[in-house]
Structure 1
């Protein structure tokens, strides 16, 4: 669980007081993909580069309550990699399980080679022994970075401006509605008065 930072609820959620869930899955997936694909490891003459995200399954949400935020997420990722040395190259994929905000105890496993050669064997060992540590270095800030989408001062300012604009629009609509009702009232009174005068004239003629 992350620190409960300042957050902004939707326009209807005055002072962000009420419980509200916001879907942050697209932002989380985008950020997670950027982090994973930035990793490159070189050892024993072999360079391993994460080349493509095959799949990201899971979701992320920010819960807003009393002006604070609680961030929750869980993801499983399948990653393609490429490896090369001076003589040959190889490729394959691996899986990352249970990426969550509570700890960095996720698993990197199912390292599978599409190419069977010495380069691939070395790449597999590199991923099994080092990929998790490289991921941990970067994912330790993932929660903070994702939370900042919601607690960013500029976003908070924009949300507050939207809220004020909405309140002003609502007040204006009420005032216009009130004027409209008042106009209808006076028109109705005028019609009633006109009918009374016509009835009075008709009575006098009789």
Structure 2
């Protein structure tokens, strides 16, 4: 047994009020399942590939079954993940304009195999279009594996923040730095001149027609059950001024700034992978048209590097999915 004052300081607990698990030195586990599902959707859906014969893209994450977790023990991180993933793809033959659909199946993404060896199976619905299937089996498979590699990288960096806690000396340094930052922040707030780094942003304007009434389209953005149906994921929704919302497994969060029933919604809106605490302002205007409703979207403050992702999010994950929900509702009516 080490003498008093000797030995690994991470075992010393008398200076801690709880007296347990100093610096996460003992076994600590964090469930990464929900986070992983959102990350896989973000990285895989929208992948596109093109050659002289045609163009294809991954249009939907149809199934993701499995689990993931991160464990820390004695300052070391241990990862476990095992996934069965099914994706939908669609493509267009350039010469004929013919459209085709198919599936991508990843039966076992786990730590037992290298990403380069991960099985990626591509199939296509019956009919012509083998040229698109070949594109998906070559370029598509490579891009899917690249995205899976990005997922693992994020799992081991982005998700694990805070699992290995600093020693007492480092914590003291960080506390001192935090105090200095707080003082600087207060000085910045008191000063009429704004300091700091400004994030380059862009504004987006999109319009889309929906075969439904203004009332029904408005409700799809404000009723929790309908949001969960078109997003195919759990949601948190407080559709009132100052109310919070969370969609797509927490990948999109924000706050309602203004709601005018059946006319307008204004939101503070952000994606999880945006710079910390940065929000865009999203305004939705619902305009009645003969037999339809026009949705006008104006978005200000989108980080420049996330412009294409933002367009994809609204055009594919919102507009197309909402139209699919409306069609299904009409069929069941």
TM-score (norm. length: structure 1): 0.62
What value does the CA root-mean-square deviation take over the aligned residues? 2.9
2:98 match? 88
Say how many residue pairs are matched. 147
Task: State the 1:116 CA deviation.
Answer: 1.8
Matched, 1:77 2:85: yes
1:111 match? 123
Alignment of 1:110-189 (within 5 A): 110-113=122-125, 116-117=127-128, 120-152=129-161
Task: Describe the superposition over 1:2-50 as per-residue Cα deviations: whole angstroms up to 9, x where unpaired.
Answer: xxxxxxxxx9633201112221011111111211113111123311100
Higher helix share: 1
Contact 1:107/1:132 (8 A) holds in 2: no
Gaps of 5+ in 1: 1-10, 161-206
Contact 2:122/2:137 (8 A) holds in 1: no
Gaps of 5+ in 2: 1-17, 172-333
Q: Which has the higher relative contact order, 1 or 2, with Cα contacts under 8 A spaced 6 or more apart? A: 1
2:323 match? none
Task: Describe the superposition over 1:38-91 as per-residue Cα deviations: whole angstroms up to 9, x where unpaired.
Answer: 311112331110000110011100011123321111111111111113422111
Higher strand share: 2
Task: Describe the superposition over 1:133-174 as per-residue Cα deviations: whole angstroms up to 9, x where unpaired.
Answer: 1122232232221122344369969xx8xxxxxxxxxxxxxx
Could you say if the C-alpha distance between residues 51 and 156 of structure 1 is closer, same or farther in structure 2, counting changes exceeding 3 Å?
Answer: farther
Which of 26, 29, 43 is residue 21 of structure 1 equivalent to? 29
For the pair shown, which has the larger CA radius of gyration, 1 or 2?
A: 1
1:66 match? 74
Query: Which structure 1 residue ranges, 4+ long, deviate > 3 Å from structure 2?
Result: 153-157
Task: Describe the superposition over 1:76-133 as per-residue Cα deviations: whole angstroms up to 9, x where unpaired.
Answer: 11111111134221112121122224511111115131x523xx32111112223221
